[in-house]
Amino acid sequence: MESLIRAIDLRPMNGWSTVLRDVNIDIPPGKIVGLIGPNGSGKTTLLKSLVGFNKSVGNLSVLNQDPRLVGSNLFNDVFFIPDSSSLPSWMKINELFSYLSGVHKNFDLEKATLLLDSSNLDARVDIGKLSKGMAAQLYLVIATAVDSRLLILDEPTLGLDLLFRKKVYRKLLQDYPNSDRSVLISTHEIVEIEEFLTDVIFLNNGEILLSSSMEALAKDFLELKVDSEQLGLAQALPSVSSRACPGGRQILYRNIDRAELEKFGEVKQACLSDIFLSLIAGGNKQ
């Protein structure tokens, strides 16, 4: 299966300094990939480099084209709007839709209008007058109405309330798994998006800490809840992180046999946020 995005040793250059270090990414069709990292980790820089907005060196292929060479034609099949604050503030929503329906051959005006009607947005309002949450809603309406092969979203739910975020993700991402299309989403909100992701990439200080499918992650990372009696034996095994919890400690292991861990206490699948925090903490210590 051909990759929608393939980057090998990609090093986006920002002036004289290197922001990212030898990034390798491979995203095949039918995936919903979460790009997760703390502030300043280089997520937006990476996304901009993937669509050719930032200068970069290394091999890069998006839909079998090099975005640095192909120019604006790439955006017929790739949807990428950096974030909701980049929407033009002077435009009215209906003017924006009119523009998009003219320039974007995959923009479905009817769908966008229906989605807008189902939200609390007024099409005659200036985008600049929308609250942060409303601008995020509009951003997601546009993203949903564009039928692109590759959807790249940068913090799409920033400013949205918790109730709306899950609803949005469900609506936005329902068509993508098992299709010939893929989504790459950068976000901080790991808990809400976790159930929708098929793959995840952790980024810290411009470096990919982890790139894995959610299935592999569930097998590789296990969390052991251990009481003080077994703690010594459990700590003797190579662990990723350890933290105190009521009645003992919770220890995160990577690539340890489940049966072996079960000898010491209760074993469960590690949640994404715990894995992320452990790896980030480990990365920062180094």
Nearer Cβ to another protein, position 102 or 232?
A: 102
Q: How far is the CB of 52 from another protein (least distance, A)?
A: 9
Fill in the DSSP letter of residue 37.
-
> Which residue, 90 or 238, has its beta carbon nearer to another protein?
90
User: Cα angle vertex 47, ends 43, 49, to 5°?
Assistant: 115
89 or 178: CB nearest another protein: 89
Rounded least distance, CB 37 to another protein, Å: 19
Q: How far apart are CA 120 and CA 134, in angstroms?
A: 8
Q: Which is closer to another protein, CB of 20 or CB of 50?
A: 50
Six-digit token string for 57: 């060196």
Pairing label, strands 221-226, 248-254? antiparallel
CB of 102 to another protein, least distance (A): 2
Q: Which of 28, 50, 25, 131 is nearest to 87 (CA)?
A: 131
Helix (H) or strand (E) holding 61: strand 56-62
Least distance (Å) from another protein to the CB of residue 216? 32
Considering only CA atoms, which of 213, 215, 201, 273 is closest in space to residue 243? 273
Which of residues 148 and 278 has its CB atom nearest to another protein in the complex?
148
Cα–Cα dist 95/97, whole Å: 5
CB of 165 to another protein, least distance (A): 22
**C-beta separation of 204 from 61 below 8 A:** no
Q: What CA–CA distance (Å, rounded) separates 28 from 180? A: 8
Name the residues that contact another protein, by CB under 8 A.
Answer: 48, 51, 53, 71-76, 79-82, 85-92, 95, 98-105
Please give the structure tokens belonging to residue 81.
């709007």
What gap in Å lies between CA 215 and CA 227, rounded to an integer?
28
User: Residue 89 or residue 273: which is nearer to another protein going by CB?
Assistant: 89
Q: Which two tokens stand for residue 16?
A: 């004289």
Instruction: Dihedral sign for Cα 12, 36, 142, 174, please.
Output: positive
Q: Which is nearer to another protein, 57 or 245 (CB)?
A: 57
CB of residue 255 vs another protein: minimum separation in angstroms?
40
| Closest approach of another protein to the CB of residue 44, in Å | 10
Are 270 and 222 spatial neighbours (Cβ–Cβ below 8 Å)?
yes
